[in-house]
Amino acid sequence: MDSLIPTIFFLFFFLGTISGAPYNEMKYDFQNYVSNTIMVDKSGRGNFTRVQQAIDSIPSNNSLWTRILINHGLYMEKVVIPRNKPYIILEGDPKHDTAIEYGDFGSVIDSPTFKLFADNFVARNIIFKNSYDRLITPGPNGRKTTWAPAASISGDKASFYHCAFISLQDTLSDDVGRHYYYDCFVEGAIDFIWGNGQSIYEKCQLRSVTDKIGVPGFITAQGRKGLKETSGYVFKDCYINGTGPIFLGRPYRNYSRVLFASTYMENIITPEGWSAWEKRSLNLITFSEVNCKGPGADMSHRVPWEKKLSDQEVAYLTNPAAFIDQEGWLGKQPN
């Protein structure tokens, strides 16, 4: 009889909630519960040997979180998470490198090593790499730089913790949706964070490798298309280093919006800071720096059309709860 008490209590509680207002809240809690864990191990000691196999095994339109644990090692494959596979956590080994790598090139659509289309996604301790730059050689007959993304992120409510994105050109296609990157590493030389995402990068390292291309490069190429669009890139408490010279960004579209706040910049940033790229209406672009430090943060020779944002605008853009986390989705993602 005593063993039935917990079961009876649970049924009483559950049935009571579905008849009243608390049901929606309880349902949402169940949606954020990790219902299944899958192990990927390249040596065969898990459920699958390839990451894509694990993703393919998840039922379409799943409504409960599935955690895919990836044992350390190098996984040479392309990985795609389609739109009908939400609520996935990709988690690598926190103590040893876990890398997903491929070397495709020539297309920002087809070449990314990792492509995310689904909403509600978390990645931790994963290196996403496009290895095409290894093939680049100097001289008229050598391989040239071209589009070679490490990752393309097109889902909403996606977060990345302690991840790395490595390539040379168009490294991270931060394409569309609300995204949060914490303590991540992004390496590239040409437009290595680009697209029309609505994203905050907090305590991230941005590493320039323009020595590989021999000309100035660009960290960002944000693609906001209109004044009413909420997209933009915000870099908060970040660190920029590597080789230079490199511009902080250039406008991919007319209403491009990028803010660097409280970011330390090594002496690799071009004096003008930003490039106009093509002939655009410069008054529509929102490129700004606030409270940045380091030798690369010298503002004395910046372009005259860089925006000076109000304290209220800076507070809004740098606050995740205001800019990207309006429904509190970040705090509700599983640990």
CA distance 154 to 161: 17
Same domain, 222 and 316: yes
Q: Among the three residues 96, 123, 143, which one is the final residue of a domain in this structure?
A: 143
Give me the active site residues, please. Answer: 170, 191
23 within domain boundaries: no
Q: Whole-prediction pTM value? A: 0.89
The pLDDT score that the predictor gives to residue 43 is 94
The pLDDT score that the predictor gives to residue 201 is 98
Q: Which of the two residues, 8 and 274, has the higher pLDDT score? A: 274
Same domain, 125 and 194: no
The pLDDT score that the predictor gives to residue 33 is 84
CA distance 128 to 216: 24
301 within domain boundaries: yes
Q: Which helix (H) or strand (E) holds 321?
A: helix 320-323
The pLDDT score that the predictor gives to residue 113 is 98
Q: How confident is the model at residue 10 (pLDDT cuts 50, 70, 90)?
A: very low
* Closest to 170 measured CA to CA, from 231, 128, 229: 128
Same domain, 198 and 297: yes
Same domain, 78 and 218: no
> Which residues span the domain enclosing 137?
33-143
Same domain, 238 and 299: yes
Exposed / middle / buried, residue 283 (Cβ in 10 Å: 0-12, 13-18, 19+): exposed
154 within domain boundaries: no
The pLDDT score that the predictor gives to residue 12 is 33
Residue-wise pLDDT for 121-164, tens only, equals 999 999 999 999 876 665 566 668 899 999 999 999 999 999 99
Q: Are 226 and 255 in contact (CB under 8 A)?
A: yes
CA distance 257 to 14: 47
Same domain, 314 and 194: yes
Q: Among the three residues 120, 143, 166, which one is the final residue of a domain in this structure?
A: 143
Q: Which single residue is written with the structure tokens 């579905």?
A: 18
Same domain, 208 and 251: yes
Same domain, 69 and 209: no
Indicate which CATH number applies to the domain containing 231.
2.160.20.10
Based on the structure, what is the number of domains in the chain?
Answer: 2
Same domain, 184 and 274: yes
Q: Which of 50-64, 241-255, 270-284 has the lowest mean pLDDT?
A: 270-284
Same domain, 180 and 306: yes
Q: Among the three residues 102, 125, 143, which one is the final residue of a domain in this structure?
A: 143
Q: What angle do CA 289, 292, 293 make, to 5 degrees?
A: 150
164 within domain boundaries: no
56 within domain boundaries: yes
